[in-house]
Protein backbone atom coordinates (compact mmCIF):
# COMPACT_ATOMS: atom_id res chain seq x y z
CA UNK A 1 0.00 0.00 0.00
CA UNK A 2 1.36 3.39 -0.97
CA UNK A 3 0.84 6.52 1.09
CA UNK A 4 0.63 10.02 -0.35
CA UNK A 5 0.21 13.24 1.59
CA UNK A 6 -1.35 16.62 1.00
CA UNK A 7 0.58 19.86 1.59
CA UNK A 8 -1.69 20.40 4.61
CA UNK A 9 -0.66 17.02 6.04
CA UNK A 10 3.01 18.02 5.70
CA UNK A 11 2.38 21.27 7.60
CA UNK A 12 0.41 19.46 10.29
CA UNK A 13 3.14 16.83 10.63
CA UNK A 14 5.83 19.45 11.26
CA UNK A 15 3.77 20.84 14.14
CA UNK A 16 3.38 17.49 15.91
CA UNK A 17 5.30 16.71 19.08
CA UNK A 18 8.26 14.42 18.45
CA UNK A 19 6.58 11.63 20.42
CA UNK A 20 3.70 11.54 17.92
CA UNK A 21 5.92 11.99 14.85
CA UNK A 22 7.99 9.02 15.95
CA UNK A 23 5.01 6.63 16.18
CA UNK A 24 3.47 7.58 12.82
CA UNK A 25 5.56 5.13 10.74
CA UNK A 26 4.52 2.24 13.00
CA UNK A 27 0.86 3.28 12.86
CA UNK A 28 0.93 3.44 9.05
CA UNK A 29 2.70 0.08 8.84
CA UNK A 30 0.08 -1.48 11.10
CA UNK A 31 -2.68 0.09 9.00
CA UNK A 32 -1.12 -1.26 5.78
CA UNK A 33 -0.96 -4.75 7.28
CA UNK A 34 -4.47 -4.70 8.74
CA UNK A 35 -6.71 -1.65 8.27
CA UNK A 36 -9.10 -3.12 10.86
CA UNK A 37 -6.48 -3.31 13.62
CA UNK A 38 -8.51 -2.53 16.78
CA UNK A 39 -6.32 0.18 18.34
CA UNK A 40 -6.42 2.28 15.15
CA UNK A 41 -10.20 2.66 15.40
CA UNK A 42 -10.53 3.34 11.69
CA UNK A 43 -13.92 4.70 10.76
CA UNK A 44 -15.62 6.74 8.07
CA UNK A 45 -16.17 10.33 9.12
CA UNK A 46 -19.77 11.40 9.59
CA UNK A 47 -20.92 13.99 7.08
CA UNK A 48 -17.95 13.34 4.76
CA UNK A 49 -18.51 11.30 1.63
CA UNK A 50 -15.11 9.66 1.30
CA UNK A 51 -12.94 10.76 4.22
CA UNK A 52 -11.88 8.38 6.97
CA UNK A 53 -10.12 8.84 10.29
CA UNK A 54 -7.82 6.72 12.42
CA UNK A 55 -6.40 7.04 15.89
CA UNK A 56 -2.70 7.66 16.52
CA UNK A 57 -3.02 8.04 20.29
CA UNK A 58 -5.61 9.09 22.84
CA UNK A 59 -5.53 12.69 21.63
CA UNK A 60 -4.23 12.52 18.06
CA UNK A 61 -6.05 11.60 14.87
CA UNK A 62 -5.25 11.28 11.19
CA UNK A 63 -7.69 11.79 8.30
CA UNK A 64 -7.30 10.08 4.94
CA UNK A 65 -8.94 8.99 1.71
CA UNK A 66 -8.63 5.83 -0.27
CA UNK A 67 -7.42 6.69 -3.78
CA UNK A 68 -6.70 4.48 -6.75
CA UNK A 69 -2.95 4.51 -6.08
CA UNK A 70 -3.19 3.92 -2.31
CA UNK A 71 -4.04 6.17 0.61
CA UNK A 72 -4.00 9.98 0.63
CA UNK A 73 -3.11 11.36 4.07
CA UNK A 74 -5.06 14.60 4.53
CA UNK A 75 -4.65 15.92 8.10
CA UNK A 76 -2.92 14.90 11.32
CA UNK A 77 -3.17 16.40 14.78
CA UNK A 78 -5.42 16.68 17.80
CA UNK A 79 -9.17 16.24 17.53
CA UNK A 80 -9.31 19.77 16.06
CA UNK A 81 -8.18 18.45 12.66
CA UNK A 82 -11.46 16.54 12.45
CA UNK A 83 -13.29 19.86 12.04
CA UNK A 84 -11.58 20.45 8.69
CA UNK A 85 -10.63 17.00 7.46
Give the pLDDT of the chain (85 residues) as one tens digit per residue.
899 999 999 999 999 999 999 999 999 999 999 989 999 999 999 888 899 999 999 899 999 999 999 999 999 999 887 888 7
Range of the domain at 47: 2-83
pLDDT at 47: 86
Q: How many domains does the chain have?
A: 1
CATH of the domain at 23: 3.30.2310.20
- 3-state class of 76 per DSSP? strand
Give the C-alpha separation, 28 to 35, whole Å. 9
Other C-beta atoms lying within 10 Å of the C-beta of residue 75: 23
pLDDT at 1: 85
Torsion-angle region of 10 (φ positive above 0: left; ψ -120 to 50: alpha; else: beta): alpha
- Cβ-in-10-Å burial (0-12, 13-18, 19+) of 60 comes to buried
pLDDT at 84: 80
Amino acid sequence: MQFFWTPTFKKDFKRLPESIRSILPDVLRRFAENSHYPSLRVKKMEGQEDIWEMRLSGSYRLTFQFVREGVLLRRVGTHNVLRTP
